[in-house]
Structure 1
């Protein structure tokens, strides 16, 4: 017996296709902006089989949405979410005048962190970028509140058990030192929550600034803080190619 194609709720189909968030999809559906096989559907849980049903939003075919790949130089103080329950400013403030379709963050940076953050409306591409099995290198420049010794650099690379979770850096390099602090370059090949801050805290080292400067072969470069640009096709392909 052949397996039947899976059915999913209409709102989930829209969000998984990358055209909007699931909450926004439900709002569009309730407003009568979405049709299935030519009929307006107002039920966000209406069952849809991808590839068998023709879905349109505002008369435009769902499969016709242009795929966009965007890099942002995230400023410190913004949270990586579409809407914050505490009313804090989010990364979407940087796109206020962009007139772009819905884009989802590809990975995250916490509120206090800065630098390279990716966005896309292509869920399959995003899944490849964030797949932990691929081990895509992410490079950070981190200002710490101490002058690191060679022993500390070695310990950060060797790793530490922090509340039952093993935290380690793939590479750690001392970039420069000041009178009382220093800058490190730290490369990770995994994406644990607040990994660098927790790893350093386990060695009683505080973080003054944390800037992501590279993902795979894509560098932040001279993109201004709060600025964004579209990735070129070769850049987008190269990130997902491994």
Structure 2
């Protein structure tokens, strides 16, 4: 049966639906030897020979959903032209080809989801689902109530006004302040840019929660598989019993040593 190319790529675990569209328009996809760049193009995955960058696209065998505690110093990509370590280097024992759901900056740590289910990833990242993501941010100096209010009400960035956020002070000293900032948007470097917009300098940034999931039971560099209830709960907003989260933690015995850049 014929399907849109971007859906075929997403179902095969190549990329999310949105990223698959970029792959197609950039001329990296061939169907029966012919380059296809039109997003409306269709193919039959059972009959047509579909390739991305010359590699055959196969039907996906099993779907995998992973929660990783990303350390600072890893790229949220599948490969890096500068030779820096990437997040999939940490997934020892995972044989399926997975990719990140959204991104965390090189110097940002915390909760990162990876999967080979393109439809699920696309739904999570779509703005209409408004999946809340909570960040813990350490900034230099004291934070005023006025700055907290501005962040909460929305600030003007170069790509438009941010939506209202949930902002609170976790702890503060004369030198540093820890903030909790919860947003449901997913703009590029959004939390850092929000802080810069109200004259706050970010020292450390960590994603502590994604929807109903947190980092409980994991150390930096460790990951675990999501349960079926957690996978569905991210889309429905239902909470998952903490005991179930703990029981599914997969420990990585030794944290991989970051590769030397270059």
TM range (shorter): 0.7 to 0.9
Question: Aligned match of 1:16 in 1, 7, 10?
Answer: 10
Mapped partners of 2:167, 2:204: distance in 1: 16
Q: Is the 8 A contact 2:14 2:118 kept in 1?
A: no
Residues 1:105 and 2:107 aligned together: no
What secondary structure sits across from 1:142 in the alignment? strand
The residue that corresponds to 1:35 in the other structure is none
Question: Which residue of structure 2 aligns with residue 189 of structure 1?
Answer: 184
Q: Do structure 1's residue 80 and structure 2's residue 79 form an aligned pair?
A: no
State how far apart, in whole Å, the 1-side matches of 2:94 and 2:3 are: 34
Matches of 1:67 and 1:195, distance apart in 2: 30
User: Across the two proteins, how many residue pairs are aligned to each other?
Assistant: 217
**What SS does the corresponding residue of 2:106 show, helix, strand or coil?**
coil
Match of 1:219 among 196, 214, 217: 214
For residues 211 and 169 of structure 1, what CA distance do their matches in structure 2 show? 20
Kept after mapping to 2: 8 A contact 1:18/1:104: no
- Alignment deviations for residues 136-160 of structure 1 (CA, whole Å, 9 cap, x no partner): 1000111111211111111111222
TM-score (norm 2): 0.73
Q: Matched residue of 1:198: which SS?
A: helix
Tell me: CA distance 1:6–1:67, structure 2 relative to 1, closer, same or farther (3 Å).
Answer: closer
SS class of match (1:133): helix
Gaps of 5+ in 1: 24-28, 31-40
Matches within 5 A, 1:128-207: 128-207=123-202
Alpha-carbon distance in 1 for matches of 2:4, 2:190? 37
Query: Following TM superposition, by how much is the alpha carbon of 1:14 offset from its aligned partner in structure 2, in angstroms?
Result: 6.2
Asked whether the 8 Å contact 2:136–2:208 carries over to 1, the reply is yes
TM-score in terms of structure 1 length: 0.78
Q: Could you say if the C-alpha distance between residues 152 and 64 of structure 1 is closer, same or farther in structure 2, counting changes exceeding 3 Å?
A: closer
1:44–1:230 CA distance, 2 compared to 1 (3 A): farther
Q: What residue in structure 1 maps to residue 85 of structure 2?
A: 89
Q: 1:68 aligns to what?
A: 64
Deviates more, 1:187-196 or 1:85-94: 85-94
**RMSD, matched Cα:** 3.1
Specify every segment of 5 or more residues in structure 2 that has no aligned partner in the other structure, as ranges. Answer: 24-28, 51-56, 238-262
